[in-house]
Amino acid sequence: MSEWSRDALGERIFQILRDDILSVEGLFSPQSNLVDAGLDSLAVTQLMLAIEESTGIWVDESLLTPENLESAETLTALVHAQLQGD
Amino acid sequence: MVAPGADRPARVRLTGADCFLRAFDAEIARTNGASHLSQLVLRLGPGFDGGRFRALVSEAAEAQPILRAPVRRKFWLGAPVFDLRAGRSRPAPPIDEHDGGDAPDVDAPFPARFEQRLNERCSLRRGELLRFDVVRYRGDAATDLAMTWQHLLFDGSGSEHFVRWLDACWRGEQRVDTLPDPDELASPSAPERSASERGRAARSWQSWLESLATRPMRSLAGPRRRTPQALRWDVLTLDGSDSERVVAAAGRRAGFLTPMLFYLAVAIRAHHAVARARGLDAGSYVVPLPVNLRPRGTAGAVFRSHVSLLWFQVLPDQVEDLDELIGALKAQRLAAIKAGHIENGTDAMDFARFAPTRLYTHMARRAFGGELCSFFFAYTGEFLGRLESCFGAELRNGFHIAPVPPSPGSCVAMSLRRGRLNVTHAHQRGVFSDAEQSVFRDSLLADLVRGT
Protein backbone atom coordinates (compact mmCIF):
# COMPACT_ATOMS: atom_id res chain seq x y z
CA MET A 1 0.00 0.00 0.00
CA SER A 2 1.32 3.42 -0.91
CA GLU A 3 2.17 6.09 1.66
CA TRP A 4 0.54 8.69 -0.58
CA SER A 5 -2.99 9.84 0.25
CA ARG A 6 -5.02 10.99 -2.69
CA ASP A 7 -5.01 14.59 -1.47
CA ALA A 8 -1.25 14.69 -0.88
CA LEU A 9 -0.63 13.14 -4.28
CA GLY A 10 -2.93 15.65 -5.96
CA GLU A 11 -1.15 18.50 -4.26
CA ARG A 12 2.27 17.19 -5.31
CA ILE A 13 1.26 16.64 -8.95
CA PHE A 14 -0.32 20.09 -9.12
CA GLN A 15 2.84 21.60 -7.65
CA ILE A 16 5.07 19.82 -10.18
CA LEU A 17 2.90 20.97 -13.06
CA ARG A 18 2.66 24.56 -11.88
CA ASP A 19 6.24 25.09 -10.74
CA ASP A 20 8.38 22.84 -12.92
CA ILE A 21 6.60 21.76 -16.08
CA LEU A 22 4.20 24.42 -17.36
CA SER A 23 4.72 28.14 -17.81
CA VAL A 24 1.37 29.09 -16.27
CA GLU A 25 -0.02 32.20 -14.68
CA GLY A 26 -2.28 32.47 -11.63
CA LEU A 27 -5.36 31.10 -13.38
CA PHE A 28 -4.01 27.56 -13.40
CA SER A 29 -6.01 25.25 -11.12
CA PRO A 30 -6.34 21.49 -10.50
CA GLN A 31 -9.26 21.55 -12.92
CA SER A 32 -7.42 23.39 -15.75
CA ASN A 33 -7.00 21.55 -19.02
CA LEU A 34 -3.37 20.43 -19.22
CA VAL A 35 -3.00 20.39 -22.99
CA ASP A 36 -4.47 23.89 -23.24
CA ALA A 37 -2.00 24.95 -20.56
CA GLY A 38 0.90 23.83 -22.77
CA LEU A 39 1.46 20.17 -21.91
CA ASP A 40 3.25 18.70 -24.91
CA SER A 41 5.25 15.59 -25.76
CA LEU A 42 8.37 16.69 -23.94
CA ALA A 43 6.50 18.13 -20.96
CA VAL A 44 4.48 14.98 -20.43
CA THR A 45 7.65 12.87 -20.28
CA GLN A 46 9.28 15.31 -17.86
CA LEU A 47 6.10 15.18 -15.79
CA MET A 48 6.17 11.39 -15.65
CA LEU A 49 9.83 11.47 -14.63
CA ALA A 50 9.06 13.96 -11.85
CA ILE A 51 6.15 11.84 -10.62
CA GLU A 52 8.40 8.77 -10.66
CA GLU A 53 10.99 10.64 -8.63
CA SER A 54 8.37 11.64 -6.06
CA THR A 55 6.33 8.45 -5.82
CA GLY A 56 8.57 5.74 -7.23
CA ILE A 57 5.94 4.73 -9.77
CA TRP A 58 6.32 4.97 -13.52
CA VAL A 59 3.14 5.61 -15.46
CA ASP A 60 3.46 4.21 -18.95
CA GLU A 61 2.68 6.74 -21.69
CA SER A 62 0.16 4.35 -23.22
CA LEU A 63 -2.06 5.05 -20.17
CA LEU A 64 -1.93 8.78 -20.80
CA THR A 65 -5.16 9.19 -22.74
CA PRO A 66 -6.80 12.56 -23.44
CA GLU A 67 -9.25 11.75 -20.65
CA ASN A 68 -6.50 11.07 -18.11
CA LEU A 69 -4.68 14.25 -19.08
CA GLU A 70 -7.78 16.39 -18.92
CA SER A 71 -6.57 18.07 -15.70
CA ALA A 72 -4.28 17.65 -12.69
CA GLU A 73 -7.24 16.02 -10.95
CA THR A 74 -7.80 13.33 -13.57
CA LEU A 75 -4.08 12.66 -13.75
CA THR A 76 -4.00 12.30 -9.96
CA ALA A 77 -6.78 9.72 -10.17
CA LEU A 78 -4.74 7.69 -12.66
CA VAL A 79 -1.52 7.83 -10.64
CA HIS A 80 -3.36 7.06 -7.41
CA ALA A 81 -4.97 4.02 -8.99
CA GLN A 82 -1.53 2.85 -10.12
CA LEU A 83 -0.16 3.34 -6.63
CA GLN A 84 -3.00 1.25 -5.24
CA GLY A 85 -2.08 -1.46 -7.72
CA ASP A 86 -5.29 -1.18 -9.77
CA MET B 1 6.46 42.75 -28.95
CA VAL B 2 8.95 45.22 -30.37
CA ALA B 3 7.51 48.70 -30.23
CA PRO B 4 7.19 50.45 -33.57
CA GLY B 5 10.22 52.59 -34.16
CA ALA B 6 12.24 50.92 -31.39
CA ASP B 7 15.92 50.39 -32.01
CA ARG B 8 16.69 47.07 -33.61
CA PRO B 9 20.00 45.28 -33.20
CA ALA B 10 22.50 45.55 -36.03
CA ARG B 11 23.30 41.85 -35.86
CA VAL B 12 21.66 38.73 -34.53
CA ARG B 13 23.68 35.65 -33.66
CA LEU B 14 22.86 32.36 -35.25
CA THR B 15 21.74 29.70 -32.78
CA GLY B 16 23.76 26.52 -32.45
CA ALA B 17 21.13 24.70 -34.50
CA ASP B 18 21.41 27.39 -37.21
CA CYS B 19 25.13 26.69 -37.43
CA PHE B 20 24.38 23.00 -37.83
CA LEU B 21 22.16 23.89 -40.79
CA ARG B 22 24.76 26.31 -42.14
CA ALA B 23 27.20 23.41 -42.24
CA PHE B 24 24.69 21.44 -44.32
CA ASP B 25 24.36 24.37 -46.69
CA ALA B 26 28.13 24.52 -47.11
CA GLU B 27 28.21 20.79 -47.76
CA ILE B 28 25.41 20.88 -50.32
CA ALA B 29 27.02 23.84 -52.07
CA ARG B 30 30.39 22.10 -52.18
CA THR B 31 29.15 18.73 -53.38
CA ASN B 32 26.44 19.69 -55.82
CA GLY B 33 26.14 23.45 -56.13
CA ALA B 34 22.74 23.92 -54.49
CA SER B 35 21.54 25.11 -51.07
CA HIS B 36 19.94 23.75 -47.93
CA LEU B 37 16.44 25.01 -48.67
CA SER B 38 13.13 24.24 -47.02
CA GLN B 39 9.72 24.76 -48.49
CA LEU B 40 6.22 25.33 -47.22
CA VAL B 41 3.45 24.71 -49.75
CA LEU B 42 -0.06 26.17 -49.56
CA ARG B 43 -2.93 25.12 -51.80
CA LEU B 44 -5.38 28.02 -51.78
CA GLY B 45 -8.89 28.50 -53.12
CA PRO B 46 -10.09 31.55 -55.06
CA GLY B 47 -9.52 35.07 -53.78
CA PHE B 48 -5.72 35.40 -53.63
CA ASP B 49 -4.55 38.87 -54.68
CA GLY B 50 -1.01 38.63 -56.08
CA GLY B 51 -0.42 42.39 -56.19
CA ARG B 52 -1.41 42.84 -52.58
CA PHE B 53 0.74 39.89 -51.53
CA ARG B 54 3.76 41.37 -53.30
CA ALA B 55 3.26 44.70 -51.55
CA LEU B 56 2.85 42.98 -48.18
CA VAL B 57 6.05 40.93 -48.55
CA SER B 58 7.94 44.04 -49.58
CA GLU B 59 6.66 45.95 -46.52
CA ALA B 60 7.44 43.01 -44.24
CA ALA B 61 11.00 42.78 -45.58
CA GLU B 62 11.45 46.51 -45.08
CA ALA B 63 10.35 46.20 -41.45
CA GLN B 64 12.12 42.87 -40.77
CA PRO B 65 15.59 43.07 -42.37
CA ILE B 66 16.48 39.59 -41.13
CA LEU B 67 14.44 38.32 -44.10
CA ARG B 68 17.24 39.45 -46.44
CA ALA B 69 20.19 39.69 -44.07
CA PRO B 70 23.57 38.31 -45.17
CA VAL B 71 24.86 35.55 -42.90
CA ARG B 72 28.54 35.96 -42.14
CA ARG B 73 31.19 35.93 -39.46
CA LYS B 74 32.38 39.32 -38.29
CA PHE B 75 35.99 39.66 -39.48
CA TRP B 76 35.92 35.90 -40.15
CA LEU B 77 35.98 35.22 -36.42
CA GLY B 78 33.42 34.51 -33.72
CA ALA B 79 29.95 33.09 -34.12
CA PRO B 80 28.20 33.77 -37.42
CA VAL B 81 25.47 36.43 -37.44
CA PHE B 82 22.56 37.71 -39.49
CA ASP B 83 23.83 41.13 -40.54
CA LEU B 84 20.61 43.12 -40.21
CA ARG B 85 22.25 46.42 -41.09
CA ALA B 86 23.46 45.06 -44.42
CA GLY B 87 20.07 43.38 -44.90
CA ARG B 88 18.34 46.75 -45.02
CA SER B 89 19.96 47.54 -48.35
CA ARG B 90 19.22 44.15 -49.94
CA PRO B 91 16.32 43.60 -52.31
CA ALA B 92 13.04 42.24 -50.96
CA PRO B 93 12.45 38.49 -51.25
CA PRO B 94 11.54 37.71 -54.87
CA ILE B 95 8.05 36.58 -55.81
CA ASP B 96 7.67 34.77 -59.14
CA GLU B 97 4.19 34.36 -60.56
CA HIS B 98 3.38 31.60 -63.01
CA ASP B 99 0.35 30.56 -65.01
CA GLY B 100 -0.80 27.08 -63.97
CA GLY B 101 -3.44 26.50 -66.62
CA ASP B 102 -6.69 24.84 -65.58
CA ALA B 103 -7.54 24.74 -61.90
CA PRO B 104 -6.47 21.57 -60.12
CA ASP B 105 -8.50 19.30 -57.91
CA VAL B 106 -7.49 19.59 -54.24
CA ASP B 107 -5.49 16.35 -54.55
CA ALA B 108 -3.90 17.10 -57.94
CA PRO B 109 -0.09 17.05 -58.24
CA PHE B 110 1.74 20.21 -57.28
CA PRO B 111 3.65 22.34 -59.81
CA ALA B 112 7.02 20.91 -60.82
CA ARG B 113 8.62 24.33 -60.49
CA PHE B 114 8.27 24.11 -56.70
CA GLU B 115 10.54 21.10 -56.80
CA GLN B 116 12.96 22.83 -59.16
CA ARG B 117 13.24 25.77 -56.81
CA LEU B 118 14.77 23.53 -54.15
CA ASN B 119 17.63 22.74 -56.50
CA GLU B 120 18.89 26.28 -56.91
CA ARG B 121 21.73 28.03 -55.16
CA CYS B 122 20.75 30.79 -52.72
CA SER B 123 23.74 32.51 -51.20
CA LEU B 124 23.74 33.03 -47.44
CA ARG B 125 26.47 35.62 -47.82
CA ARG B 126 24.26 37.68 -50.13
CA GLY B 127 21.20 37.38 -47.88
CA GLU B 128 19.25 35.24 -50.35
CA LEU B 129 17.17 33.71 -47.61
CA LEU B 130 13.57 33.70 -48.77
CA ARG B 131 11.52 33.61 -51.96
CA PHE B 132 7.98 32.83 -53.09
CA ASP B 133 6.50 31.11 -56.12
CA VAL B 134 2.87 31.70 -56.92
CA VAL B 135 1.07 29.54 -59.48
CA ARG B 136 -2.28 31.02 -60.52
CA TYR B 137 -4.87 28.84 -62.16
CA ARG B 138 -7.26 29.90 -64.90
CA GLY B 139 -10.22 31.99 -63.83
CA ASP B 140 -8.62 32.69 -60.46
CA ALA B 141 -10.16 29.43 -59.26
CA ALA B 142 -7.13 28.42 -57.20
CA THR B 143 -3.55 29.32 -56.31
CA ASP B 144 -0.60 27.21 -55.21
CA LEU B 145 1.96 29.12 -53.20
CA ALA B 146 5.43 27.89 -52.23
CA MET B 147 7.58 29.67 -49.70
CA THR B 148 11.19 28.55 -50.07
CA TRP B 149 13.80 29.57 -47.53
CA GLN B 150 17.28 28.91 -46.30
CA HIS B 151 16.55 26.45 -43.54
CA LEU B 152 18.36 28.50 -40.91
CA LEU B 153 16.02 31.50 -41.36
CA PHE B 154 13.11 29.59 -39.80
CA ASP B 155 12.69 26.08 -38.46
CA GLY B 156 9.44 24.23 -39.22
CA SER B 157 7.49 25.87 -36.37
CA GLY B 158 9.01 29.26 -37.13
CA SER B 159 7.93 29.08 -40.76
CA GLU B 160 4.33 28.44 -39.69
CA HIS B 161 4.52 31.29 -37.16
CA PHE B 162 5.82 33.52 -39.96
CA VAL B 163 2.96 32.63 -42.32
CA ARG B 164 0.43 33.20 -39.51
CA TRP B 165 1.99 36.57 -38.77
CA LEU B 166 2.07 37.56 -42.45
CA ASP B 167 -1.57 36.52 -42.78
CA ALA B 168 -2.44 38.55 -39.65
CA CYS B 169 -0.77 41.54 -41.32
CA TRP B 170 -2.85 40.84 -44.44
CA ARG B 171 -6.03 40.92 -42.33
CA GLY B 172 -4.94 44.12 -40.62
CA GLU B 173 -4.66 42.39 -37.23
CA GLN B 174 -0.89 42.95 -37.02
CA ARG B 175 1.48 45.64 -38.21
CA VAL B 176 4.50 44.66 -40.27
CA ASP B 177 6.85 46.40 -37.84
CA THR B 178 5.73 44.16 -34.97
CA LEU B 179 5.92 40.47 -34.42
CA PRO B 180 3.47 38.41 -32.38
CA ASP B 181 5.99 37.19 -29.86
CA PRO B 182 8.48 38.95 -27.60
CA ASP B 183 11.00 36.15 -28.12
CA GLU B 184 11.28 36.84 -31.80
CA LEU B 185 15.03 37.40 -31.64
CA ALA B 186 15.81 36.08 -28.19
CA SER B 187 17.17 32.67 -27.37
CA PRO B 188 14.62 30.10 -26.26
CA SER B 189 14.41 29.09 -22.64
CA ALA B 190 17.35 27.03 -21.47
CA PRO B 191 18.51 25.91 -18.05
CA GLU B 192 21.01 28.18 -16.37
CA ARG B 193 24.38 26.47 -16.50
CA SER B 194 27.91 27.58 -15.86
CA ALA B 195 30.49 27.37 -18.65
CA SER B 196 32.05 24.25 -17.15
CA GLU B 197 28.64 22.58 -16.76
CA ARG B 198 27.86 23.38 -20.34
CA GLY B 199 31.22 21.98 -21.40
CA ARG B 200 30.49 18.71 -19.60
CA ALA B 201 27.02 18.62 -21.13
CA ALA B 202 28.45 19.12 -24.63
CA ARG B 203 31.00 16.36 -24.09
CA SER B 204 28.26 14.06 -22.82
CA TRP B 205 26.24 14.66 -26.00
CA GLN B 206 29.28 14.03 -28.16
CA SER B 207 29.99 10.77 -26.31
CA TRP B 208 26.38 9.74 -26.84
CA LEU B 209 26.71 10.23 -30.60
CA GLU B 210 30.02 8.38 -30.61
CA SER B 211 28.34 5.47 -28.82
CA LEU B 212 25.81 5.27 -31.67
CA ALA B 213 28.68 5.10 -34.12
CA THR B 214 29.99 1.90 -32.59
CA ARG B 215 27.43 0.03 -34.70
CA PRO B 216 27.62 0.19 -38.48
CA MET B 217 25.09 2.33 -40.34
CA ARG B 218 24.51 2.81 -44.03
CA SER B 219 21.93 5.06 -45.69
CA LEU B 220 20.18 4.24 -48.95
CA ALA B 221 22.27 6.90 -50.70
CA GLY B 222 25.57 5.59 -49.39
CA PRO B 223 28.45 7.68 -48.09
CA ARG B 224 29.83 10.83 -49.68
CA ARG B 225 27.52 10.85 -52.64
CA ARG B 226 28.60 13.54 -55.10
CA THR B 227 26.00 14.14 -57.78
CA PRO B 228 24.39 17.24 -59.22
CA GLN B 229 21.58 18.41 -56.95
CA ALA B 230 18.26 16.96 -58.03
CA LEU B 231 16.00 16.95 -55.02
CA ARG B 232 12.53 15.63 -55.74
CA TRP B 233 9.51 15.35 -53.51
CA ASP B 234 6.27 13.42 -53.45
CA VAL B 235 3.31 13.98 -51.18
CA LEU B 236 0.95 11.28 -50.06
CA THR B 237 -2.32 12.68 -48.67
CA LEU B 238 -4.59 10.23 -46.90
CA ASP B 239 -8.34 10.77 -46.97
CA GLY B 240 -10.23 11.88 -43.88
CA SER B 241 -11.40 8.48 -42.65
CA ASP B 242 -8.01 6.80 -43.15
CA SER B 243 -6.32 9.73 -41.43
CA GLU B 244 -8.69 9.54 -38.49
CA ARG B 245 -7.87 5.87 -38.06
CA VAL B 246 -4.13 6.52 -38.35
CA VAL B 247 -4.21 9.36 -35.82
CA ALA B 248 -6.14 7.16 -33.37
CA ALA B 249 -3.70 4.29 -33.88
CA ALA B 250 -0.68 6.58 -33.43
CA GLY B 251 -2.05 7.81 -30.11
CA ARG B 252 -2.99 4.34 -28.96
CA ARG B 253 0.29 2.68 -29.91
CA ALA B 254 2.80 5.43 -29.12
CA GLY B 255 0.96 7.70 -26.67
CA PHE B 256 -1.48 10.49 -27.38
CA LEU B 257 1.11 13.22 -26.84
CA THR B 258 3.95 11.28 -28.47
CA PRO B 259 2.46 10.10 -31.78
CA MET B 260 5.67 11.08 -33.56
CA LEU B 261 7.22 7.80 -32.42
CA PHE B 262 4.57 5.86 -34.34
CA TYR B 263 5.21 7.92 -37.47
CA LEU B 264 8.99 7.62 -37.06
CA ALA B 265 8.63 3.84 -36.73
CA VAL B 266 6.59 3.75 -39.93
CA ALA B 267 9.25 5.77 -41.75
CA ILE B 268 12.06 3.51 -40.49
CA ARG B 269 10.16 0.45 -41.71
CA ALA B 270 9.65 2.01 -45.15
CA HIS B 271 13.41 2.59 -45.48
CA HIS B 272 14.05 -0.90 -44.20
CA ALA B 273 11.68 -2.34 -46.80
CA VAL B 274 13.73 -0.68 -49.54
CA ALA B 275 17.04 -1.81 -48.04
CA ARG B 276 15.76 -5.39 -47.85
CA ALA B 277 14.45 -5.28 -51.42
CA ARG B 278 17.87 -4.03 -52.52
CA GLY B 279 19.70 -6.66 -50.48
CA LEU B 280 21.46 -3.91 -48.53
CA ASP B 281 22.62 -4.55 -44.99
CA ALA B 282 21.90 -1.21 -43.37
CA GLY B 283 23.73 -2.26 -40.19
CA SER B 284 21.46 -0.07 -38.09
CA TYR B 285 19.08 2.83 -38.59
CA VAL B 286 20.22 6.10 -37.04
CA VAL B 287 17.72 8.96 -37.20
CA PRO B 288 17.67 12.38 -35.51
CA LEU B 289 14.32 13.75 -34.33
CA PRO B 290 14.02 17.54 -33.95
CA VAL B 291 12.70 18.71 -30.58
CA ASN B 292 11.09 22.13 -30.34
CA LEU B 293 12.74 24.24 -27.61
CA ARG B 294 10.31 27.14 -27.60
CA PRO B 295 9.02 28.11 -24.17
CA ARG B 296 5.76 26.35 -23.39
CA GLY B 297 2.55 28.25 -23.67
CA THR B 298 4.01 30.91 -25.98
CA ALA B 299 3.60 31.39 -29.69
CA GLY B 300 7.37 31.03 -29.88
CA ALA B 301 10.18 32.67 -31.72
CA VAL B 302 9.69 33.25 -35.43
CA PHE B 303 13.20 33.51 -36.80
CA ARG B 304 16.16 31.14 -36.48
CA SER B 305 16.13 27.48 -35.42
CA HIS B 306 15.06 26.69 -31.88
CA VAL B 307 15.47 22.95 -31.85
CA SER B 308 17.63 20.27 -30.33
CA LEU B 309 18.02 16.75 -31.65
CA LEU B 310 17.20 13.42 -30.09
CA TRP B 311 18.98 10.56 -31.84
CA PHE B 312 17.56 7.08 -32.23
CA GLN B 313 19.27 3.89 -33.30
CA VAL B 314 17.59 0.56 -34.01
CA LEU B 315 18.88 -2.67 -35.46
CA PRO B 316 17.22 -4.39 -38.44
CA ASP B 317 15.92 -7.13 -36.09
CA GLN B 318 14.00 -4.53 -34.08
CA VAL B 319 12.30 -3.20 -37.20
CA GLU B 320 10.38 -6.32 -38.15
CA ASP B 321 7.53 -5.80 -35.67
CA LEU B 322 5.96 -2.33 -35.60
CA ASP B 323 4.96 -2.39 -31.93
CA GLU B 324 8.34 -3.73 -30.85
CA LEU B 325 9.97 -0.94 -32.82
CA ILE B 326 7.75 1.70 -31.21
CA GLY B 327 8.63 0.23 -27.82
CA ALA B 328 12.35 0.51 -28.58
CA LEU B 329 11.94 4.12 -29.71
CA LYS B 330 9.94 4.98 -26.57
CA ALA B 331 12.62 3.49 -24.35
CA GLN B 332 15.40 5.35 -26.18
CA ARG B 333 13.51 8.64 -26.04
CA LEU B 334 12.93 8.28 -22.32
CA ALA B 335 16.56 7.38 -21.65
CA ALA B 336 17.79 10.34 -23.69
CA ILE B 337 15.47 12.79 -21.93
CA LYS B 338 16.49 11.35 -18.54
CA ALA B 339 20.14 11.79 -19.46
CA GLY B 340 19.47 15.44 -20.35
CA HIS B 341 20.48 15.04 -23.99
CA ILE B 342 18.00 17.64 -25.24
CA GLU B 343 19.73 20.31 -23.17
CA ASN B 344 23.15 18.73 -23.75
CA GLY B 345 22.60 18.90 -27.51
CA THR B 346 21.77 22.59 -27.28
CA ASP B 347 24.99 23.23 -25.36
CA ALA B 348 27.04 21.16 -27.79
CA MET B 349 25.67 23.01 -30.79
CA ASP B 350 26.14 26.36 -29.05
CA PHE B 351 29.82 25.62 -28.40
CA ALA B 352 30.37 24.60 -31.98
CA ARG B 353 29.10 27.96 -33.28
CA PHE B 354 32.65 29.25 -32.93
CA ALA B 355 34.15 26.32 -34.79
CA PRO B 356 34.75 26.15 -38.56
CA THR B 357 31.51 25.63 -40.48
CA ARG B 358 32.46 22.21 -41.78
CA LEU B 359 33.28 20.82 -38.35
CA TYR B 360 29.77 19.46 -37.74
CA THR B 361 29.49 17.45 -40.89
CA HIS B 362 33.13 16.42 -40.72
CA MET B 363 32.68 15.02 -37.20
CA ALA B 364 29.45 13.23 -38.08
CA ARG B 365 30.89 11.71 -41.23
CA ARG B 366 34.04 10.62 -39.46
CA ALA B 367 31.99 8.92 -36.74
CA PHE B 368 29.54 7.24 -39.10
CA GLY B 369 31.92 6.10 -41.82
CA GLY B 370 31.15 8.91 -44.23
CA GLU B 371 27.43 9.11 -43.47
CA LEU B 372 25.39 11.70 -41.54
CA CYS B 373 22.46 9.47 -40.58
CA SER B 374 20.09 6.94 -42.18
CA PHE B 375 17.51 9.57 -43.17
CA PHE B 376 15.92 12.72 -41.81
CA PHE B 377 12.48 12.76 -40.24
CA ALA B 378 10.07 15.34 -38.84
CA TYR B 379 6.52 15.23 -37.52
CA THR B 380 5.08 18.71 -37.09
CA GLY B 381 1.51 17.97 -35.98
CA GLU B 382 -1.33 20.17 -37.18
CA PHE B 383 -0.22 22.35 -40.08
CA LEU B 384 -1.39 25.95 -39.55
CA GLY B 385 -4.10 24.60 -37.27
CA ARG B 386 -7.30 26.67 -36.96
CA LEU B 387 -6.28 28.82 -39.92
CA GLU B 388 -9.12 28.25 -42.37
CA SER B 389 -8.08 30.92 -44.84
CA CYS B 390 -4.77 32.52 -45.67
CA PHE B 391 -4.04 35.69 -47.68
CA GLY B 392 -7.72 36.07 -48.48
CA ALA B 393 -8.23 32.56 -49.85
CA GLU B 394 -9.42 29.28 -48.39
CA LEU B 395 -6.46 27.19 -47.20
CA ARG B 396 -7.30 23.80 -48.70
CA ASN B 397 -4.09 21.96 -47.98
CA GLY B 398 -0.53 22.65 -46.91
CA PHE B 399 2.63 20.96 -45.70
CA HIS B 400 6.40 21.23 -45.30
CA ILE B 401 9.16 19.90 -47.51
CA ALA B 402 12.31 19.42 -45.47
CA PRO B 403 15.67 19.50 -47.22
CA VAL B 404 18.18 16.70 -47.31
CA PRO B 405 21.83 16.56 -48.43
CA PRO B 406 22.79 14.08 -51.20
CA SER B 407 23.68 11.62 -48.48
CA PRO B 408 21.55 10.32 -46.73
CA GLY B 409 19.39 11.55 -49.61
CA SER B 410 15.99 10.87 -48.02
CA CYS B 411 13.76 12.85 -45.69
CA VAL B 412 10.22 12.11 -44.52
CA ALA B 413 8.02 14.82 -43.03
CA MET B 414 4.49 14.27 -41.75
CA SER B 415 1.77 16.69 -40.70
CA LEU B 416 -1.99 17.02 -40.52
CA ARG B 417 -4.16 19.50 -42.33
CA ARG B 418 -7.94 19.57 -41.81
CA GLY B 419 -7.84 16.07 -40.42
CA ARG B 420 -5.88 14.65 -43.36
CA LEU B 421 -2.38 13.24 -42.99
CA ASN B 422 0.24 14.51 -45.44
CA VAL B 423 3.40 12.46 -45.83
CA THR B 424 6.05 14.27 -47.86
CA HIS B 425 9.12 12.43 -49.01
CA ALA B 426 12.04 14.49 -50.27
CA HIS B 427 14.74 12.45 -51.94
CA GLN B 428 17.73 12.98 -54.15
CA ARG B 429 17.38 11.63 -57.67
CA GLY B 430 18.93 8.22 -58.00
CA VAL B 431 18.67 7.25 -54.35
CA PHE B 432 15.38 5.41 -55.01
CA SER B 433 14.64 3.56 -58.25
CA ASP B 434 11.03 3.62 -59.48
CA ALA B 435 10.54 0.11 -58.15
CA GLU B 436 12.04 1.09 -54.79
CA GLN B 437 9.73 4.06 -54.56
CA SER B 438 6.81 1.67 -54.97
CA VAL B 439 8.21 -0.52 -52.21
CA PHE B 440 8.63 2.56 -50.02
CA ARG B 441 5.10 3.79 -50.62
CA ASP B 442 3.59 0.32 -50.15
CA SER B 443 5.33 -0.04 -46.82
CA LEU B 444 4.07 3.37 -45.67
CA LEU B 445 0.52 2.56 -46.69
CA ALA B 446 0.68 -0.91 -45.18
CA ASP B 447 1.61 0.47 -41.76
CA LEU B 448 -0.47 3.63 -41.88
CA VAL B 449 -3.67 2.40 -43.44
CA ARG B 450 -3.82 -1.36 -43.69
CA GLY B 451 -2.03 -1.91 -40.37
CA THR B 452 -4.42 0.28 -38.38
The complex scores an ipTM of 0.85
Chain B residues closer than 8 Å to A46 by CB: 337
What confidence score (pLDDT) does residue B6 get?
A: 55
Write out the H or E segment, with its range, that includes residue B161: helix B156-171
> What is the pLDDT at residue B185?
46
Residues in chain A closer than 8 A to B333 (CB atoms): 45
pLDDT band, very low/low/confident/very high, at A3 (cuts 50, 70, 90):
confident
Does residue B268 contact residue B316 with C-beta atoms inside 8 Å?
Answer: no
The answer to whether A56 faces chain B, any CB pair under 8 Å, is no
Cβ distance B342 to A40 less than 8 Å, yes or no, reads: no
Would you say the C-alpha torsion B435, B438, B440, B442 has a positive or negative sign?
A: negative
pLDDT of residue A86: 67
Chain-wide mean pLDDT for chain A?
A: 89
Q: What is the pTM of this model?
A: 0.92
Q: Which residues contact B449 (CB under 8 A, 6 or more apart)?
A: B238, B242, B245, B246
Distance between CA atoms of residues B101 and B190, nearest Å: 50
| A43: contact with B, CB 8 A cutoff | yes
For residue B195, give every residue at least 6 positions away whose Cβ sits within 8 Å of its Cβ, in sequence order, or none.
none
**Which residue ranges of chain B lie beneath pLDDT 70?**
1-8, 76, 180-191, 225, 296-300, 452
Measure the CA–CA gap between B334 and B312, rounded to whole angstroms.
Answer: 11
Q: What whole-number distance in Å separates Cα of residue B43 and Cα of residue A12?
A: 47
* Residue B11 confidence (pLDDT): 86
- Cis ω before B94 (30° cut-off from 0): no
> Looking at residue B184, what is its pLDDT?
47
Of A23, A39, A61, the CB nearest to B295: A23
* DSSP 8-state secondary structure symbol assigned to residue A21: I
Handedness of CA A47, B344, B70, B371 (dihedral sign): negative
CA distance, residue B142 to nearest chain A CA (Å) = 34
Cβ-defined contact of B257 to A49 (cutoff 8 Å): no
Helix, strand or coil for residue B53?
helix
Q: Are B406 and B428 in contact (CB under 8 A)?
A: yes
Q: What is the pLDDT of residue A40?
A: 87
pLDDT at B218 (0 to 100): 94
State the pLDDT confidence band at A15, using cuts at 50, 70 and 90. Answer: very high
Report the C-alpha gap between B285 and B271 in whole angstroms: 9
B281-326 confidence digits (pLDDT tens) = 999 999 999 998 887 655 668 898 889 999 999 999 999 999 999 9
Contact state of A41 with B260 under an 8 Å Cβ cutoff: yes
Give the minimum alpha-carbon distance from A23 to chain B in angstroms, rounded to a whole number. 6
| Residues on chain A touching B298 (C-beta within 8 angstroms) | 23
Candidates A22, A23, A41; nearest CB to B257? A41
- What is the predicted pLDDT for the residue at B300? 65
Q: Residue B62's pLDDT is what?
A: 94
CB of A24 less than 8 A from some CB of B: yes
